[in-house]
Structure 1
Amino acid sequence: MSQFDVKNLSADELKKLVNDAERALRERSKQRVMELRREAEALANELNTSVADIFGLEKGSKQAGKKLPAKYMNPANPSQTWSGRGKRPNWLVDELNQGKKLEDFRI
């Protein structure tokens, strides 16, 4: 880091220096937040979920709690269904990892 003597700067030069430093600090902070966001999204993706699900950021809607009709069914156990919203159930994730397609399970 370069070091210089601020004692010899005028008031205007000091104000400009402070403004430039604050702007640089805000920019670095934004960059770090974006890096952390990308990391969090990647980790959530590995867990087949979303950042909002992990931190409980989803706000309840007017339809919260309303049961949606099933769109997908486990052929090995027809009682296991999924509406297509929210986190994918483990049985579906396992099947997809084995190379099957989501459409194979559509009701």
Structure 2
Amino acid sequence: MELSKLSLSELKNLLTLIPAEIKKREKEEKIKTLKEVEAFAAERGFSLEELVGNSAIKTKKEKSTVAVKYRHPEKADLTWTGRGRQPKWTAEFLATGGTLEQLAV
């Protein structure tokens, strides 16, 4: 591909497409390589887990979303899962005599 013949908009479009394509191809290459290594180990009577341990080949788990437990009584977009540090709006509500039960979803 001759980049000098492309327009500026075509170059910018390529610039947005390239990172996604690289990521996709890296993932495909990793999967292919893992299958090859597993086959290589199996030919010699081993599982990959036996050679490198379970933790080395575990796939990443996607973070699960936590359900909202508390919602601001007037501003529905202010929520809290009950995990981590208490939001400022929750602390203010409790300081004025409110309870968490009143905020429960």
TM-score normalized by the length of structure 2: 0.44
TM-score normalized by the length of structure 1: 0.43
Structure richer in strand, relative to its length: 1
Structure richer in helix, relative to its length: 2
